[in-house]
Amino acid sequence: MMLDLDQYTCLGAALRDALDRWPNETCLIEADRDRERTRLTYSDFKQTATPLARALQDAEFNPGDRAAIIMTNQSKWLASAYAIFQIGGVLVPLDYKLTAEEHLQLLAHSRAKFLIVEYHLWRAIAQSPEFKNHNLKIVLVTEAPPTVQLSGGYRWEEFRRKGDPNFVARAKEDAACIVYSSGTGGRPKGCVLSHENYLEQCKALTVWFPFWPGVRYLSILPTNHAIDFMVGFIGPFVCGACVVHLRTLRPEYVRDAFVRYKMTYVTLVPMIVKNLERGLRANFDALPGWKRFLLDRAISVNKTLTRKQPKVELSRKLLPGVHRAFGGELLALITGGAFIDAATLQFFYDLGIPIANGYGLTEACTVLTVNDLKPFRADTVGKPLPGVELRILNPDGEGIGEVAAKSKTIMSHYLDDPEMTAETIVDGWLLTGDLGRFDDSGHLQLFGRKKNMIVTAGGKNIYPEDIEATFDGIAVKEYCIFAANYIWPQKTLSGEKLILILRLDINQNFIDTTKSDIESRNQSLPDFKRVGGYVLWDKDFPRTASMKIKRNDLAEEIRNSLDNSAVKEL
């Protein structure tokens, strides 16, 4: 049985009791290709993390101090987070894929005093021109070569003190984490999430998808991601389960991990789910005719017998080869964070591999809705979790309106941004900016976004404002970037793209050199951030008294004057 989370006010206390409750259960496995690097029991984990917590405390880490982690998935990430929670710290999990300049921006915005970082990432940060302005007090660097200088940092492996730390309990309403919900370059969006947010989220998720000792969860998403922080750390640990980290995500080693470690659950972004589907379909197409006939018959029988609810044991007998490829003990794939085709979800379900499709936001801690598989519905993002109340605001004739959420999992505020907080949380309701409706059975269907944001197939939130700096200095009077679906709502979550709105000077021609400059800058962006087209606009942008662009007004003006055929491809 998992811990009774109602008995706790903070994550530190719950995690500490979990380590004592299941000392001999394996909690972490770390594999690198075909070699296992680390295997820790809960007792081993405690012995790894406790001296670190003591050393941080001796280094004048005070309750409420903020500590950032920039690391790939590995045991040191979780041990560091545990140590921070034990001494009353606030965790700032940052995306290791950001640039050094972006890391420094978020470290400054979060006012982190302590940083725990992998060596190759620290090296890039220390070489940045902005590095000289940092205000970090202590930097701990993991896996640093023994002979290198660490630019003022300490080796994580050597930063140890004997003796137990003084455990610091926190109140439910105290901040546990500051999580950044988008990329940077514009306005950082630091979601302040409390201990209550995480405890309530964990309680709700484990009602429908329980963990227990012996369960193995394959951690593929980055641990800094809201989903994996909950489902790949907090959830398994308070239930005595095991998390498996891979140091490489090459498909052949991921497939091997399913079989070698007999995974129970794994969370995948829709892009990876789609890749798995393509691989399976290719394997099926390569079968001899008679084998393919037998496979299709078995799938048909499985579909008939599992129409109302999953029967995984039965599906394993009907389709043993498919299930052996996933380790033979997989109970469900978990996905969310971006649009996924209903046909893809149905494909896996028909093979007897249920996919729990969910919907959530960083501002809501992790998840608001998930498919409880009672019955499976491929065309929805499931039902509200226990404790989550959802409303559809200002529904149109089809019942479609903005999704609003109220729950104990909703963040308290955006860090240092009362204006954006007031726009996002109104009378206790989180305005998600997503368009949806409920069907007759209480499942939520999503239809697009009200807000100027897109979500990539890899589950990344892209805010156009964050990309605008890339085009600073182009030879036009003014410009801004929108999500095309924000200007011309399509009520769809697929085919989203960013567009540049260009206002030229009077009598200015849009010449090839300007277009070439835009295209060159666009190519410098990662694929998922690139602008897909542009619109030439013939009026000055509406602005506030402080000269900020009135985005809503501009979008409405464009919508009333042009249709999406005005977009020219880049």
Mapped to the 3 state alphabet, what secondary structure does 79-148 carry?
HHHHHHHHCCCEEEECCCCCCHHHHHHHHHHHCCCEEEEEHHHHHHHHCCHHHHHCCCCEEEEECCCCCC
The pLDDT tens digits for 277-315 are 989 999 999 999 999 999 999 999 999 999 989 999 999
Question: Whose structure tokens read 């995974």?
Answer: 263
| Residue-wise burial string across 261-295, b where 16 or more C-beta atoms lie within 10 A, e elsewhere | bebbbbbbbbbbbbebbeebeeeeeeeeeeeeeeb
User: Cα separation of 425 and 364, whole Å?
Assistant: 11
The pLDDT tens digits for 230-250 are 999 999 999 999 999 988 878
Residue 155, exposed/middle/buried by CB under 10 A (0-12, 13-18, 19+)? middle
Q: Which of 124-128, 249-253, 471-475 has the lowest mean pLDDT?
A: 249-253
Residue 185: per-residue pLDDT:
47
Domains 5-266 and 467-569 equal at CATH topology level:
no
Q: Is the pLDDT of residue 349 over 80?
A: yes
8 A C-beta contact, residue 88 and residue 63: yes
Q: Which of the four pLDDT bands, split at 50, 70 and 90, describes residue 505?
A: confident
Pick the CATH number of 467-569 from 3.40.50.920, 3.30.300.30, 3.30.420.130, 3.90.640.10: 3.30.300.30
Kindly list the distances between the CA atom of residue 539 and the CA atoms of 329, 476, 486, 536, 561, in Å, as whole numbers in the listed order: 61, 13, 19, 10, 11
Cis peptide before 129 (omega within 30 of 0): no
Domain 269-449 grouped into CATH 3.40.50.12780 = yes
8 A C-beta contact, residue 274 and residue 340: yes
Task: Give the residue extent of every domain in the chain.
Answer: 5-266, 269-449, 467-569
Residue 545: per-residue pLDDT:
67
Average predicted confidence (pLDDT) for the chain: 92
Residue 254: per-residue pLDDT:
86
Query: Taking Cα atoms as reference points, which of 275, 179, 266 lies closest to residue 225?
Result: 179
User: Cα separation of 395 and 435, whole Å?
Assistant: 9
The pLDDT tens digits for 183-216 are 444 678 999 999 999 999 999 999 999 999 999 9
Q: Is the pLDDT of residue 396 over 70?
A: yes
Name residues whose C-beta falls within 8 Å of residue 437's C-beta, 6 or more positions apart in sequence: 392, 395, 398, 399, 400, 401, 444, 445, 447
Q: What is the mean pLDDT of residues 378-396?
A: 95
SS (H, E, C) 519-542: HHHHHCCCHHHCEEEEEEECCCCC
The pLDDT tens digits for 103-139 are 999 999 999 999 999 999 999 999 999 898 899 999 9
| Residue-wise burial string across 34-48, b where 16 or more C-beta atoms lie within 10 A, e elsewhere | eeeebebbbebbbeb
**CB atoms near residue 511 (< 10 Å):** 10
Residue 182: per-residue pLDDT:
59
Q: Is the pLDDT of residue 458 over 80?
A: no
Q: Is the pLDDT of residue 485 over 80?
A: yes
Give just the sign of the alpha carbon dihedral 369, 195, 223, 48. negative
Residue 183: per-residue pLDDT:
47
Kindly list the distances between the CA atom of residue 12 and the CA atoms of 169, 233, 234, in Å, as whole numbers in the listed order: 7, 13, 10
The class (CATH top level) of 5-266 is alpha beta
Entry pTM: 0.88
Bridge pairing between strands 425-426 and 90-93 = unpaired
What distance lies between CA 520 and its chain's CA centroid? 30
